[in-house]
Amino acid sequence: MFGNLSDRLIETFKNLRSKGKLSPADIDATLREIRRALLEADVALDVVKNFTSSVRERALGDEVSKALNPAQQVVQIVNEELVKILGGQQRKLSFAKTAPTVIMLAGLQGSGKTTLAGKLAKWLKDQGQTPILVAADLQRPNAVNQLQVVGERIDVPVFAPEPGNGVGNPVNVAKDSIKHAKQKMFSVVIVDTAGRLGIDEELMTQAKDIRKAVDPDEVLFVIDSMIGQDAVNVAKAFDDGVGITGVVLTKLDGDARGGAALSVASVTGKPILFASNGEAMDAFEPFYPDRMASRILDMGDVLTLIEQTQKNFDETEARAMAEKLAKETFTLEDFLDQMQQLKKMGSLKSMLAMMPGAGQMRQQLENFDEKEIDRTEAIIRSMTPAERRQPKILNGSRRSRIAKGSGMTVTDVNSLVNRFEQAAKMMKTVAKGGVPQMPGIPGM
Ligand code: GDP
């Protein structure tokens, strides 16, 4: 996501960094580059104009000329202004004072509403809420069924019209679902509504009627980040027609130019609450404008990375590992454990992409093959416990036996052992509080 935009901005700043003092001409040249990069990423023209003029005003002012490192200061300004157009402060989901909280989803067909309904329900359930999904999309023949499949996947009930009751009226279904939720004590009702391929009157009227019937605490407008320049019109139409309280961006994992993300918040003045980045039910996270800006500017999204790690990493195990590292008793067995931990956290590629500097190793990341971890595992599994504990004893004949056992070549085995040694060295540095170089990541 934001790959090209990120590359362009990083390149622009690289040129700037080589300069000590910045002249107005340097700043103008930088702004031209930024403007071009944003437009190419499909950010709406008005948003780009406002953005560059705010950056220009600040960059020509005292804060840059008096800064110790003017180039760094410009990057800082761009970062702050990016945070602003992404909505500023993070805005959390609002809950009703008395249950149930009602969340209505609106958006074009294919924007990812149904998938999002499931992700949101799972996320809420993980926090101890008891959500129910409501199928108020009766337009698309398969929509109710699709929501039911999603509900089954995450084990969340779905409220839908009885089959055989004809097409049904989505407004009534939505209204009944609230009664049902109250009776059965569900804490959150998520109402999936019908989308169309384009904006039309009937769709807006229906969404408005559903809104009236369920009196939602949140109306989340779901938008596909790949939609491009159209994002602004669609968002405005939904805000005018239905009235939205927040935005959810989907498909941020696609090789989207990302303009929708950067335009919608400032055009509608409505905050982005969540970002969805994959088809899996947990490919979803709360949206933090500051973290997203850091990711775009390749300052790394270390906070999200830490949160994801914490979610999946067993603390006692982590502590034991840290002790081993400090005592330099880290073995290939631990390496194997660690790889399994990494696998639990999900895609290594998406985790690495959040590291500071990831933008500059994009090519390596693209080429990174998640299967490499399986191959590495196969090699380690073909070793005897003694070999795993003491890689030093791995002589030529042992290496060739391991290669045969794992279906790999001796070169693969050698390269793994080398990488392990590097990784152990790198982790020793980390354990001692230093900053590692990158080469020791398994599989890279
Ligand atoms: P709806 O018509 O708005 O309900 O959209 P759906 O939930 O049916 O999603 C449309 C398509 O987009 C489906 O194939 C989903 O699997 C896919 N999709 C939804 N969200 C994401 C996402 O964040 N990333 C990716 N890659 N695909 C997604």
Q: What are the Cα distances from residue 46, in Å, to 35, 239, 265, 294, 315?
A: 11, 18, 13, 22, 47
Whether 277 is in the pocket of ligand 1, judged by its Cβ within 6 Å, is: yes
- Confidence bin at 443 (pLDDT 50/70/90): very low
- pLDDT tens for 319-351 read 666 666 666 677 888 778 777 776 666 666 666
Query: What pLDDT is recorded for position 75?
Result: 85
| β-pairing verdict for 272-276 and 284-286 | antiparallel
* 274 strand-pairing partners: 248, 286
Nearest protein CA to atom 20 of ligand 1, as residue? 112
Three-state SS at 275? strand
Q: How far is the CA of 68 from the centre of ligand 1 (A)?
A: 47
Q: What is the pTM of this model?
A: 0.72
Q: Which residue, among 50, 52, 18, 49, has the nearest Cα to 34 in the 3D structure? A: 52
Whether 119 is in the pocket of ligand 1, judged by its Cβ within 6 Å, is: no
Best mutation site among 133, 247, 279 for ligand 1 pocket (most ligand atoms within 8 Å of CB): 279
What class is the 101-295 domain?
alpha beta
The answer to whether residues 441 and 358 touch, using CB atoms and an 8 Å cutoff, is no
Q: Give the DSSP H or E segment for 381.
A: helix 371-381
Whether 225 is in the pocket of ligand 1, judged by its Cβ within 6 Å, is: no
- pLDDT tens for 368-415 read 677 777 888 889 999 998 898 888 899 999 999 999 999 999 999 998
The answer to whether residues 172 and 148 touch, using CB atoms and an 8 Å cutoff, is no
Q: Which atom of ligand 1 is nearest to the CA of 277?
A: 23
- pLDDT tens for 17-29 read 777 788 889 899 9
92 annotated to a ligand binding site: no
Contacts of 407 (CB under 8 A, 6+ apart): 378
Sign (positive or negative) of CA dihedral 294, 298, 300, 301: positive
Query: What pLDDT is recorded for position 413?
Result: 93
Q: How far is the CA of 365 from the centre of ligand 1 (A)?
A: 24
3-85 homologous superfamily:
SRP54, nucleotide-binding domain (1.20.120.140)
Domain formed by 306-431, architecture:
Orthogonal Bundle (1.10)
Whether 250 is in the pocket of ligand 1, judged by its Cβ within 6 Å, is: yes
How high is the ipTM of this complex?
0.98
Q: The tokens of 205 are what? A: 């009227």
3-85 and 306-431, same CATH topology: no
- Confidence bin at 437 (pLDDT 50/70/90): very low
Q: How far is the CA of 359 from the centre of ligand 1 (A)?
A: 26
pLDDT of 100 strictly over 80: yes
User: Which single residue is written with the structure tokens 């830490």?
Assistant: 306
196 annotated to a ligand binding site: yes
Whether 350 is in the pocket of ligand 1, judged by its Cβ within 6 Å, is: no
Interatomic CA distance for residues 219 and 192, integer angstroms: 11
Q: What are the Cα distances from residue 9, in Å, to 17, 195, 431?
A: 12, 35, 33
Task: Name the percent of the chain in helix, strand, coil, to the closest 5.
Answer: 60, 10, 30
Q: Which atom of ligand 1 is nearest to the CA of 278?
A: 24
Any long-range contacts for 399-408 (C-beta under 8 Å, 24+ apart)?
Answer: 403/379, 406/375, 406/378, 406/379, 406/381, 406/382, 407/378, 408/375, 408/378, 408/379
76 annotated to a ligand binding site: no
For the chain, the domains span 3-85, 101-295, 306-431
User: Cα 251 from chain centroid?
Assistant: 9
437 annotated to a ligand binding site: no
336 annotated to a ligand binding site: no
Whether 304 is in the pocket of ligand 1, judged by its Cβ within 6 Å, is: no
